[in-house]
Amino acid sequence: MVLAVTGFKGGVGKTTTAVHLAAFLAHRAPTLLVDGDPNRSATGWHRRGGLPFTVADERVAARYARDHAHVVIDTQARPSKEDLEALAEGVDLLVLPTTPDALALEALLATLEALKTSGARYRYF
Ligand SMILES: Nc1ncnc2c1ncn2[C@@H]1O[C@H](COP(=O)(O)OP(=O)(O)OP(=O)(O)O)[C@@H](O)[C@H]1O
Ligand SMILES: [Mg+2]
Q: What is the pLDDT of residues 68-87, one digit of tens each?
A: 999 999 999 888 888 899 99
Q: Look at strands 2-5 and 70-75 and give their pairing.
A: parallel
Residue 48: give the domain boundaries.
Answer: 2-118
pTM: 0.94
Residues with C-beta atoms within 5 A of ion ligand 2:
14-15, 37, 41
DSSP 53-119: SEEEETTTHHHHHTT-SEEEEEE-SS--HHHHHHHHHH-SEEEE---SSHHHHHHHHHHHHHHTTTT
CA 71 – CA 89 distance, rounded (Å): 15
12 lines ligand 1 (CB under 6 A): yes
pLDDT of 117 above 90: no
The alpha carbon of 98 and the centre of ligand 1 are apart by a number of angstroms equal to 10
DSSP SS3 for 32: strand
Asked, for residue 15, whether it belongs to a domain, the answer is yes
Closest ligand by atom to 17 CA:
1
Task: Check which CATH number belongs to the domain holding 88 and give it.
Answer: 3.40.50.300
Asked, for residue 123, whether it belongs to a domain, the answer is no
Asked, for residue 36, whether it belongs to a domain, the answer is yes
CA 6 – CA 78 distance, rounded (Å): 8
Mean pLDDT across 54-69: 93
Q: How many domains does the chain have?
A: 1
